[in-house]
Every structure is written in C-alpha cells, then in structure tokens.
Structure 1
C-alpha cells in the first residue's frame, strides 16, 4: 500500500523558548493547519509552558500540553530539581547537567502518536546540531534514526522537520526577523534555564548562547541596529 503525506498540516513541538517559537512561526508560513504540542515534565521553569500557551492563544494556534511527569522521576537533573544548580560552563567531558535523558526521544515519540491520530505526517522541532550545547538528542543523526524508527513502529510515514538544524543562533534570530516576529521571540519566549522570561538571567548556558547569537545577528544582519534592542 502506498503511503501518502499530508503536506497541509504540521505538528510543532513547542517549548515556549526561542528556537521552537521561531519554528512555530516558520510553520505557520508553510502549512494551512499548525498544531502546537508542549510537554509538562514538572520542569523547574514551568513558566515556559505559560509562554507557549500565551503565544498560541495570542497568535491563533491550537495548543495542547501533554503530561510527561514520569520523565521528571526518571531523569533528575538541574532542570527538574531545585537542589541541583545549572552548570554555568559546559563540562570538559560528558553531557551538561541540564541534559534531560530521553527528553527529545519521548517528546518526538508522543508528538508522533498525537500527529498520527489526526492524520498528520509532519512534525517540526527546533533542535540544532550547530548549537546543540552537548545534547546528543539534538544531532541530525539522532533525528534521522528516530524518523526511521517511528515509521517502522507505527507503519506510518512521519517526516521530522528541523528548520534550525544547520544554522547558528545568529541565523536563528535572522529567521525570526525575516518572519517579522523578532520582537515576539525576543520578549515573549523563555529560554533561560533559571526560568526568567525574555533576556533571562544572563548567566546560564542558554542565556549566554542566546545573547551571543543576538549580538552576532545585530552585527551581521540587522539593517537597523537599534531595532528591538
């Protein structure tokens, strides 16, 4: 039996952060119907879920928050435990203590199950190998491998789309600017590991990466350097 792909609909995995929100608006330009899926794994910075909810409500996107509390129990780390401080610098060996084992594997698997029930083939995620911060589940080889596994597991043609895979943070800011959502991404998202909206705490790895990318974006791409500063 020939498997067909519905090119009019897409599911976006939305954390409420810079990357996934940029991908959400990227998808809205390309698909007639976009549904956003977020995950509650009892993360410390639950404000990100409120950001995701508010963005979808404000800009007309159907939004669902799925319960993945078991992940919190299985993978204690600095994003799920108040007594574990986020590493401010990447370790010389191994993964950062902000890496949640299995998170993207589970997120994309549950997003795929969700999508199949709605006859949707395309799943969009904001992972990037260029800025993957030591997270193995942001690599292209992982996405391609999981895509094959999901297809085999459910006998269904999923397409995992990663618009940010080969671009850095400066280019991600440029994408938001090209989509006319630069101010939305800058002010209404939460990337900070310490749960501070917008520009964040400024000290955690996510904030440092975001700020460095924004400064590079302003220098390389922004026609009006005073815009959205």
Structure 2
C-alpha cells in the first residue's frame, strides 16, 4: 500500500486526525478533504487546515452549505440546544451527512488517482448514528465502486475501537500529544480538552483517562 494514494475525510478532530497519522504510515501520498456545511464550531476547519499544513498534507475544503438547508440540527444551528434523549438519536445527527461526504471524497479521490478513502467512523462509540455503522460503510463501498466503475476501498481504522483504544492507537502512532493538544472534538469549538461539558468532550476525556490509567498499569 505504501506506493498508493489515499484521501482522508478530515474534520480536524481526534478521530480523523488519528486516521490521518494512520494513513501516513501506510500510503505514499495522502491528501485530506474537509467539508464546510455551516457547522457552528467552524473553528474545526481552521484547525484542520493548520494540522494539514503542519504535516505537509494537501488539504481541500468543499462548500457543502446545502446540507445545512436540508437538515437543520444542533451542529449547524446555534439556536438549538444540544440534547441527548434516551431511545432517540442525538439532535447533533445530520441526516445523510456521511453518505454525502464520503461520496464527494470518492469523486475527489478518483480525480487524483487514489482508490483508498480513510474515514474515522466508529460503531463502538457511535451514539447510535446509523451512518457510522460497518454495514453502511460496506454498502457504500460497493455502491461507489458500481457508480464510478472504480476500485475504491474505504478504510475504517477505528470501527471497532472505543475511545480509550483510539487514544492507544494515537499513542502507538507517536501522535498522542499532537492529537490531544491540536484537535477539536468539542461541540462548542474549543480545542484540546474542550469545554468538558458537551457529550463529545465527556466521551473524549473519559476515553483518555481510561487509556492513561491502563498505560500506567502496564508500565508499573
């Protein structure tokens, strides 16, 4: 694979940045693609650009503002409170987002002669999002191959990892401090450890604390 090209779907967050480091170890040429869909934590795009520049990765940002018009949600509307109700999808779920993003990433990849697409979705800590499931990724992979008659492979390095295991992977890639300090996962757009209160921050910090404890126990 080291001779081949890959495109990483990149938000500038913990998961996609870990995937970026994962891809850099495996592919000869890596590019990142991000999407501007009116997200209220727009600082993630700025961090994504800075990370790509620091790692010398070509970075494309596509205008996907139409998605905001079609699917109002708490990620794009500042007047909507972020809520999680038992038995329901979080109101941060954006209908069709990953399907649209991964399809555009595939179109971009084909133009640059890349057949590998790397995405940071995860079925272990996926909050019930249907477009983070392994079955969806496998289905879309087949669909993209058929739609464009091109041998795409969608890679999901984090699919079966919980957040602690994702931190472990970042550490194994020599990127734990980089990911912790320079990425944005927080729904309020605060870099690093974030606000500490939103669902994304709580999940991220709980995973980090679990991993650091496990690492300490192994080292003793």
TM-score, normalised on structure 1?
0.92
Aligned 1:1-229 pairs, distance under 5 A: 8-87=4-83, 90-222=84-216
Counterparts of 1:108 and 1:18 in 2: how far apart (Å)? 18
Q: Quick check: 2:2–2:26 contact (8 Å CA) kept in 1?
A: no
Q: Quick check: 2:2–2:27 contact (8 Å CA) kept in 1?
A: no
Q: Quick check: 2:17–2:179 contact (8 Å CA) kept in 1?
A: yes
- Deviation, structure 1 residue 46: 0.5
Counterparts of 1:169 and 1:137 in 2: how far apart (Å)? 18
- Deviation, structure 1 residue 53: 0.2
Q: Quick check: 2:2–2:28 contact (8 Å CA) kept in 1?
A: no
Q: Unmatched 5+ residue regions in structure 1? A: none
Counterparts of 1:216 and 1:94 in 2: how far apart (Å)? 27
- Deviation, structure 1 residue 223: 7.1
Counterparts of 1:154 and 1:188 in 2: how far apart (Å)? 36
- Deviation, structure 1 residue 17: 0.3
Q: Deviations over 1:52-102 (max 9, x none)?
A: 100010111111101100001111110000100112xx3222210000111
| Worse overlay, 186-195 or 5-14 | 5-14
Counterparts of 1:196 and 1:37 in 2: how far apart (Å)? 21
Counterparts of 2:111 and 2:5 in 1: how far apart (Å)? 13
Q: Quick check: 1:6–1:119 contact (8 Å CA) kept in 2?
A: no
- Deviation, structure 1 residue 221: 2.2
Structure 1 runs of 4+ with >2 Å offset: 221-225
Q: Deviations over 1:157-205 (max 9, x none)?
A: 1100000000110010011111111111001000001111111111111
What's the Cα RMSD here? Answer: 1.6
Counterparts of 2:2 and 2:184 in 1: how far apart (Å)? 31
Q: Whose helix fraction is larger, Structure 1's or Structure 2's? A: 2
